[in-house]
């Protein structure tokens, strides 16, 4: 009886031991299965659950299951996907040898687990800040000529954007998640005029002062003056020449008939007046005409000289003339009389700052301004605002810093770097239209009579956050076109504005999703180069060699470091608002600089040398915007 009892006890103990081993092995098998499908799902690209994704799933399963440690046979793991990789499923099986229960005829346990991983996205707002500068028309390797349209950087960006949309869209199928997209294409300007007007057209000023030109006539003389005492030129000595043909047979007779030398300078004719120059007074805009007044003065001395010739030799009176000039300067000032209509005769173009009424132009109405010329008469140039803006008042400080959300970016007088505040009645706080058709460059900061056109580059319109169909998203991507120079601060500034839950677009940003869930915010900043501001193009900060809003003195060496300090401060302001800031540096000759890495959120900076790598980096971001998770 006791033997039977011992046998029962052994069975109970043995089953407990082997059951515990089986439980631990099953847990490890489940963990390995989960790791495998997670890795497989993360490796899914636009090719779906392909051999690469399958290999990743198997590799991670093997790495998480140690046969020797578990004391089992080799496990079997079968990952698969029925929906082109959106969900990756797995089945893992293994056989575990018993230790004690084999005494009772139970030699093995067959263990089996299942697992699934899917990319699921909650509510997400995603703003693309996209470098649309001229170099985006180059090939990714930096070749700038002979590049086919489908070999350009902009084409690679458009393709990667579309694949990004597809990945995120697949992750929300069958859910009620809300995904919204916003866009800020940037170069040397940003096209946000319609966005501002949609909030309040009074946020755009009704007048703007532009580096332009004005057709003018001139008034009668309003002032005249001279410039002090006259000056004299150095005397010029001439050569002795015969005074007349009278011949004398001896020197005494000649000398007795010779005139006395002149001891005083005598005017020889009247005053000759010539226009020396016409300039513009930088303070008043008056035309200053400078006249040079020149009068000849002479004196003479005489000598008798013997002259021999075939028709008779003798003495002749000779004269030598000394010449010098008395020079004085006088000036006249005339006021500008602006020519305000078309078809009017004018005397000059004056290249200078001109203040324009833009109350009609800012509402995207066609406006005509007489800045053209036709055979000595003014002619109208008609244009409609594209939507690019001049930024608000700024300061020419050398450094900028983000302090905190309450203080913002310092110096605080840089109103353009105030991300959230709405304009007041003060025009300094308002934006202004960038009006390329009336903008002209000149060689001096002072008004001049000579100047010329200037390049103005206005990228595609920016877009506030909105849910988009695939066709709408693709159409927007295809509308992007490379133009202009690289102003990172402009792109990031407006990316911040349309992402901020407390700025002028807060009504759009904070609109609650119908599912009542929270919203994650992302800003994807892609550039193919370093900062490249220009002193001579017409940007959102004007023509910088004339307006000097950034440099203060027109020194080009100040320009780039000051724009850099500005954009790095904006990066910190974006991250402080709870927005994950992703950065991609695109192009084989482009570096992921320490500044770009500093700009990005943690673990959110990428480098892409070619189109394939750009797509991979966009996919990596899409997967992290999506929430990869085990669902079984």
Q: What is the pLDDT of residues 117-127, one digit of tens each?
A: 876 668 999 99
User: Is the pLDDT score of 325 beyond 50?
Assistant: yes
User: Quick check: 292 and 327 in contact, CB under 8 A?
Assistant: yes
Nearest-angstrom CA–CA distance, 628 and 619: 13
Backbone angles phi, psi at 310, to 5 degrees: -70, -25
User: Is the pLDDT score of 3 beyond 60?
Assistant: no
pLDDT computed for residue 14 by the predictor: 43
Residue ranges per structural domain of the chain: 2-120, 123-191+459-630, 200-391+431-455
User: Is the pLDDT score of 625 beyond 50?
Assistant: yes
pLDDT computed for residue 195 by the predictor: 99
Q: What is the pLDDT of residues 416-465, one digit of tens each?
A: 999 999 999 999 999 999 999 999 999 999 999 999 999 999 999 999 99
pTM for the predicted model, two decimal places: 0.80
pLDDT computed for residue 517 by the predictor: 87
Nearest-angstrom CA–CA distance, 534 and 551: 12
pLDDT computed for residue 456 by the predictor: 97
Q: What is the pLDDT of residues 334-372, one digit of tens each?
A: 999 999 999 999 999 999 999 999 999 999 999 999 999
Which CATH entry fits the domain spanning 123-191+459-630: 3.60.9.10, 3.90.45.10, 3.40.50.410, 1.10.3720.10? 3.40.50.410
User: Quick check: 379 and 373 in contact, CB under 8 A?
Assistant: yes
List, in order, residues 6 or more apart from 543 with CB less than 8 Å away: 211, 439, 441, 454, 535, 536, 537
Nearest-angstrom CA–CA distance, 55 and 89: 14
Q: Counting beta carbons within 10 angstroms of the beta carbon of residue 64, is it exposed (0 to 12), middle (13 to 18) or buried (19 or more)? A: middle
- Residue 227 Cα distances to 277, 292, 335, angstroms: 14, 11, 20
Largest Cα–Cα distance in the chain?
183
DSSP assignments along 302-355, one per residue: EEEEEE--TT--EEEEEEEEEEEEEEEEEEEEEEEEE--STT-B-SEEEEEEEE
pLDDT computed for residue 104 by the predictor: 58
Which among 310, 320, 321, 307 has a CA at the least distance from the CA of 245? 307
603 or 307, which is more confident: 603
User: Quick check: 119 and 625 in contact, CB under 8 A?
Assistant: no
Q: Give the pLDDT band of residue 192 (cuts 50, 70, 90).
A: very high
User: Is the pLDDT score of 12 beyond 90?
Assistant: no
Average pLDDT over residues 66-90: 90
pLDDT computed for residue 23 by the predictor: 87
Which among 630, 627, 571 has a CA at the least distance from the CA of 602? 571
Average pLDDT over residues 284-311: 93
For residue 411, whether the previous peptide bond is cis, meaning omega lies within 30 degrees of 0, is yes
Q: What is the pLDDT of residues 90-116, one digit of tens each?
A: 999 999 888 666 565 566 889 999 999
- Hunting for tokens 């699934």 — which residue is that? 116
Q: What is the pLDDT of residues 268-281, one digit of tens each?
A: 999 999 999 999 99
User: Is the pLDDT score of 9 beyond 50?
Assistant: no
What percentage of the chain exceeds 90 in pLDDT?
83
pLDDT computed for residue 7 by the predictor: 45
Interior/surface letters 22-34, b for 16+ CB within 10 angstroms, e for the rest: beebbebbbbbbb
DSSP one-letter code for 12? H
User: Is the pLDDT score of 139 beyond 90?
Assistant: yes
Nearest-angstrom CA–CA distance, 413 and 402: 13
- Residue 496 Cα distances to 171, 352, 531, 592, angstroms: 26, 34, 18, 21
Nearest-angstrom CA–CA distance, 596 and 583: 7
Considering the chain, what is the average pLDDT of its residues?
Answer: 93
Q: Counting beta carbons within 10 angstroms of the beta carbon of residue 260, is it exposed (0 to 12), middle (13 to 18) or buried (19 or more)? A: exposed
| Angle at CA of residue 229, ends 224 and 235, nearest 5° | 125
- Residue 575 Cα distances to 411, 417, 522, angstroms: 19, 15, 10
User: Is the pLDDT score of 536 beyond 70?
Assistant: yes
Q: Which residues pair with 410 in a beta bridge?
A: 401
């Amino acid at each position: 009886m006791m033997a039977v009892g011992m046998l029962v006890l052994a069975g109970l103990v043995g089953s407990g031991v082997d059951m515990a081993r089986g439980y631990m092995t099953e847990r490890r098998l489940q963990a390995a299965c989960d790791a495998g499908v997670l890795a497989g799902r993360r490796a899914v690209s636009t090719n779906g659950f392909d051999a690469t994704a399958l290999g990743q799933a198997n590799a991670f399963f093997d790495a998480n299951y140690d046969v020797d440690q578990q004391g089992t046979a080799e496990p079997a793991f079968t990952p698969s996907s029925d929906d082109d990789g959106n969900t990756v499923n797995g089945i893992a099986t293994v056989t575990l040898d018993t230790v004690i229960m084999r005494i009772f005829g139970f030699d093995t346990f067959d263990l089996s687990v299942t697992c699934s991983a899917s990319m699921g996205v909650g509510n997400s707002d995603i703003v693309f800040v996209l470098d649309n500068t001229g170099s985006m028309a180059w090939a990714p390797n930096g070749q700038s000529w002979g590049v086919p349209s489908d070999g350009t950087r902009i084409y690679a960006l458009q393709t990667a954007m579309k694949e990004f949309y597809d990945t995120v869209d697949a992750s929300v199928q069958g859910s009620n998640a809300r995904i919204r997209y916003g866009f800020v294409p940037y170069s040397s300007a940003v096209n946000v005029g319609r966005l501002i007007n949609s909030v309040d057209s009074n946020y755009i000023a009704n007048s703007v002062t532009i580096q332009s030109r004005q057709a003018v006539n001139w008034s009668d003389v309003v002032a005249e003056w001279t410039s002090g005492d006259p000056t004299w030129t150095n005397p010029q000595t001439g050569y002795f020449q015969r005074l007349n043909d009278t011949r004398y047979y001896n020197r005494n007779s000649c000398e007795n008939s010779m005139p006395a030398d002149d001891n005083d300078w005598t005017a020889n004719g009247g005053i000759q007046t010539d226009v020396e120059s016409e300039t513009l007074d930088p303070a008043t805009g008056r035309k200053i005409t400078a006249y040079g007044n020149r009068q000849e003065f002479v004196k003479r001395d005489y000598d008798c000289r013997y002259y021999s010739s075939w028709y008779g030799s003798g003495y002749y009176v000779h004269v030598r003339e000394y010449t010098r000039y008395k020079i004085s300067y006088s000036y006249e000032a005339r006021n500008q009389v602006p020519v305000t209509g078309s078809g009017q005769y004018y005397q000059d173009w004056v290249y200078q700052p001109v203040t324009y009424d833009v109350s009609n132009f800012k509402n995207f109405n066609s406006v005509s301004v007489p800045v053209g010329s036709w055979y000595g008469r003014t002619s109208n140039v008609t244009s409609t605002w594209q939507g690019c803006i001049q930024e608000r008042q700024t300061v020419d400080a050398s450094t900028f810093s983000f302090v905190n959300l309450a203080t913002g970016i310092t110096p605080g007088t840089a109103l353009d770097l105030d991300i959230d505040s709405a304009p007041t009645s003060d025009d300094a706080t308002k934006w202004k239209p960038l009006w390329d058709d009336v903008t002209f460059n000149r060689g001096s900061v002072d008004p001049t009579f000579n100047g010329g056109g200037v390049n103005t580059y206005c990228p595609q319109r920016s877009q506030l956050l909105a849910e988009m169909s695939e066709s709408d998203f693709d159409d927007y991507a295809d509308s992007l076109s490379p133009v202009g120079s690289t102003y990172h601060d402009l792109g990031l500034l407006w990316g911040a504005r349309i992402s901020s839950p407390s700025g002028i677009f807060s009504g759009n940003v904070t609109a609650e999703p119908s599912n009542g869930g929270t919203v994650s915010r992302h800003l994807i900043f892609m550039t193919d180069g370093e900062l490249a501001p220009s002193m001579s193009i017409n940007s959102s900060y004007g023509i910088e060699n004339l307006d000097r809003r950034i440099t203060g003195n027109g020194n080009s060496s100040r320009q780039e470091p000051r724009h850099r300090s500005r954009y790095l401060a904006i990066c910190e302001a974006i991250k402080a608002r709870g927005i994950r800031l992703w950065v991609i540096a695109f192009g084989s000759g482009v570096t992921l600089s320490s500044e770009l890495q500093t700009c990005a959120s943690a673990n959110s900076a990428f480098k892409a040398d070619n189109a394939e790598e750009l797509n991979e980096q966009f996919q990596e971001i899409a997967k992290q915007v999506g929430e990869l998770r085990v669902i079984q």
